[in-house]
Amino acid sequence: MRRWRYRSNRTVGGGILMKASTTFDFDGASVIVTGAARGVGLSIATRFATAGAQVFMVDFDREELEGAAADIDGVPVTADVSCTADVEAVVAQVLESCGRIDVLVNNAGILRDQVVWKLSDADWDAVLGVHLGGTFRFTRACTPSFRAQNRGRVINVTSYTGLRGNIGQSNYAAAKAGIIGFTKTTAKELARFGVTVNAISPNAETRMVASIPDARKAELAAAIPLGRFAHPDEMADAVAFLASDSAAYITGVVLPVDGGISI
């Protein structure tokens, strides 16, 4: 059985992250990353591609996706994670190309913020459909392969907001809380097939964070014990670890990669 090894030459100086070059060897692995056109998803896809994996980069923003995939030699797959037919077509394409799926990263996300009394059905459904629905649809579609291989890794992306709530984000909080329950349940269901299912809870400087008003963003940064938002590559470090053999005995866990905000 292929072993995915850990190599690290990360350098940390004076408490400041000088160089993040942690790598794992995913040579020949078949990896699906959703929401991979930018932000956290692009960092995750880049990390796997750099480590030798064939990375299927799923996003519904075709233009941004194609540029990103060309940069890292990934396979761009335009699809909407909230659409069952799209998800099943992606999985069929991956299996036709590689014959197996080693890692699934459910990362795609959107925001449609509004206080609950003004929140429309459309904005509720859209956010639940992408975050929770996409995570469900991809996990379900990959499960026959995981079971046949008797091996697999699923890493979902949740949020601190799913545990603590946030004004204007009842749809997002409900979706992210749902992902935690989904992660723990599928971890139990799939363990017997050699599959681990975990989640990360990020806090990274991406376009999603850039959409937060500056005053609120400054407040949020001040409340982070480590005093800053992370670079998205720091999320990729955690995902690569959870996908590696070093994490073979870890399942059903939500790993905060959030500078301590959730302490």
Ligand X SMILES: NC(=O)c1ccc[n+]([C@@H]2O[C@H](COP(=O)([O-])OP(=O)(O)OC[C@H]3O[C@@H](n4cnc5c(N)ncnc54)[C@H](O)[C@@H]3O)[C@@H](O)[C@H]2O)c1
Scanning 31-39, 46-54, 215-223, 244-252 for contacts with ligand X by CB under 6 A, the matching segment is 31-39
Scanning 32-40, 136-144, 145-153, 190-198 for contacts with ligand X by CB under 6 A, the matching segment is 32-40
- The radius of gyration computed from the CA coordinates of the chain, to the nearest angstrom, equals 18
The one catalytic residue in 6, 160, 172, 249 is 172
Rule CB under 6 A: say whether 81 interacts with ligand X: yes
Residue closer to ligand X, measured from CB, 102 or 233 = 233
Exposure pattern of 26-47 as b/e (b: 16+ CB <10 Å)? beebbbbbbbbbbbbbbbbbbb
Residue among 33, 104, 110, 142 that touches ligand X (CB under 6 A)? 110
Cβ partners under 8 Å of residue 81, min gap 6? 34, 35, 58, 60, 87, 106, 108, 130, 133, 134, 137, 138
Q: Which of residues 175-204 bind ligand X (CB under 6 A)?
A: 202-204
Residue among 30, 54, 82, 196 that touches ligand X (CB under 6 A)? 82
Give Dmax (Cα) for the chain: 54
What is the smallest separation between the CB atom of 262 and ligand X, expressed in angstroms? 11
Q: Annotated catalytic, 172?
A: yes
Residue closer to ligand X, measured from CB, 74 or 109 = 109
Kindly determine how many residues on this chain lie close enough to bind ligand X according to the rule CB under 6 A.
29
Scanning 92-100, 107-115, 163-171, 187-195 for contacts with ligand X by CB under 6 A, the matching segment is 107-115
Rule CB under 6 A: say whether 261 interacts with ligand X: no
Rule CB under 6 A: say whether 59 interacts with ligand X: yes
Residue closer to ligand X, measured from CB, 4 or 238 = 238
Residue among 80, 123, 125, 245 that touches ligand X (CB under 6 A)? 80
Residue among 24, 26, 30, 39 that touches ligand X (CB under 6 A)? 39
Rule CB under 6 A: say whether 107 interacts with ligand X: yes
Q: Which of residues 217-246 bind ligand X (CB under 6 A)?
A: none
**Which parts of this chain interact with ligand X (CB under 6 A)?**
34-35, 37-41, 58-61, 80-82, 107-110, 130-131, 157, 159, 202-204, 206-209
